[in-house]
């Protein structure tokens, strides 16, 4: 389409104005992190007595990574069954599961805390990972089912004629065709789990197990000096770096995952 000069100027104007608003907090955080105390603040945060940056990043990686792997596995198994198999109660079970997509974690913190404590997983990684999986897997199940629906039955029938078992078809026919879909599901679950704040705050109490979202509290005090605020900003920037790296490497899958998760609601 032909674009006139004024139209172009208006479009760029809108984008530049909005970008300035969006970049403002980032610019402030970067500026403030060195405004009192200089670059030394980063060293202070990395050698902090109560806040261990590498532990926090490691904890986040452990919990988000495990969640993503389990979600990829069980959502693909479930998506395969719901898409390609016929069994009694299929639609009832599928709809009952998807109805939970509308259930916010915040509404269920009390029973979640109680259940996790009862099975003895309070203040453990597993105790956070289990609800992370539970609340992340449903949208991924929907994505994987829609993905499997788009794979023609003929391919699966051909494999069955060749004598492939149900699991063999999953492993050798379906999964090789599911690379991008699995990547979308994995990246999306990883990012959502990495960003989760409520579940770890509810279930963890030992600071050495805190993921980054929760570890922020270790850098905040009741009355903070300008220097401590600068150090907090430095810590926040350091804690955003892993997210930025993950984003740069997985942008394509993150975008595709969001788009495919929003197709059928």
Instruction: Report the residue from 213, 231, 234, 253 that binds another protein according to the rule CB under 8 A.
Output: 213
Nearest to 182 by CA among 97, 255, 251, 257: 257
Looking at 39-47, 50-58, 172-180, 190-198, which segment touches another protein (CB under 8 A)? 190-198
Residue 179, classed as helix, strand or coil, is helix
Let me know how many helices (H) and strands (E) the chain has, helices first.
Answer: 12, 0
Of positions 181, 203, 212, 234, contacts another protein by CB under 8 A = 212
Please pick, from the candidates 45, 72, 148, 169, the single residue that binds another protein as defined by CB under 8 A. Answer: 169
Task: Extract long-range pairs of 238-242: CB within 8 Å, 24+ residues apart.
Answer: 238/42, 238/45, 238/46, 238/53, 239/53, 239/56, 239/57, 239/212, 239/215, 242/57, 242/60, 242/61, 242/194, 242/212
> Does 240 sit near another protein (CB under 8 A)?
yes
By CB under 8 A, the count of residues binding another protein is 94
Q: 16-75: which residues touch another protein (CB under 8 A)?
A: 18-19, 21-25, 28-29, 32, 73-75
The one segment of 39-47, 51-59, 178-186, 225-233 that binds another protein by CB under 8 A: 225-233
Please report how close the Cβ of residue 141 comes to another protein at its closest, in angstroms: 6
**Stretches 45-53, 81-89, 120-128, 171-179: which one binds another protein (CB under 8 A)?**
81-89
Q: In this complex, which beta carbon is closest to another protein, that of residue 22 or of residue 39?
A: 22
Residues sharing a CB contact under 8 Å with residue 58, sequence separation 6 or more, in sequence order: none
Q: Smallest distance, Å, CB 28 to another protein? A: 5
What tokens were used for 232?
A: 């907090």
Is 9 a binding residue for another protein by CB under 8 A? The answer is: no
d(CA 231, CA 224): 10
| Ranges within 83-142 binding another protein (CB under 8 A) | 84-88, 90, 93, 96-97, 100-115, 130-131, 133-135, 137-138, 141
Distance of alpha carbon 49 from alpha carbon 53, whole angstroms: 11
How many CA atoms, within 13 angstroms, populate the side-chain half-sphere of residue 196?
Answer: 31
* Nearest to another protein of 62, 77 (CB atom): 77
Q: How far is the CB of 49 from another protein (least distance, A)?
A: 20
Work out whether 255 is an interface residue with another protein (CB under 8 A): yes
- Cβ atoms of residues 51 and 45 within 8 Å: yes
Q: How far apart are the first and last CA of the chain?
A: 32
């Amino acid at each position: 389409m032909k674009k006139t000069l004024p139209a172009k100027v208006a479009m760029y104007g809108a984008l530049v104005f909005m970008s300035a608003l969006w970049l403002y907090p980032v610019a402030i955080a970067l500026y403030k992190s060195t405004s009192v105390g200089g670059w030394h603040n980063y060293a202070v945060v990395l050698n902090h007595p109560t806040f261990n940056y590498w532990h926090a990043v490691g904890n986040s990686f452990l919990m988000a990574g495990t969640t993503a792997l389990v979600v990829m596995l069980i959502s693909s198994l479930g998506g395969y069954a719901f898409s390609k198999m016929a069994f009694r109660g299929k639609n009832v079970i599928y709809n009952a599961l998807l109805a939970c997509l509308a259930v916010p974690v915040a509404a269920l913190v009390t029973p979640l805390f109680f259940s996790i404590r009862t099975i003895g997983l309070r203040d453990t990684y597993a105790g956070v990972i289990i609800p992370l999986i539970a609340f992340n897997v449903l949208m991924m199940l929907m994505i994987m089912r829609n993905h499997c629906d788009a794979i023609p039955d003929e391919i699966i029938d051909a494999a069955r004629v060749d004598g492939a078992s149900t699991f063999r078809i999953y492993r050798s026919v379906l999964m090789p065709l599911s690379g991008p879909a699995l990547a979308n599901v994995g990246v999306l679950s990883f990012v959502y789990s990495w960003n989760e704040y409520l579940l770890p705050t509810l279930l963890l109490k030992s600071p050495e197990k805190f993921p980054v979202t929760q570890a922020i509290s270790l850098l905040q005090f009741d009355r903070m000096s300008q220097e401590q605020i600068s150090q907090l900003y430095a810590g926040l920037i350091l804690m955003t770096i892993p997210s930025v790296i993950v984003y740069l490497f997985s942008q394509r899958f993150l975008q595709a995952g969001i788009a495919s998760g929003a197709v059928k609601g």
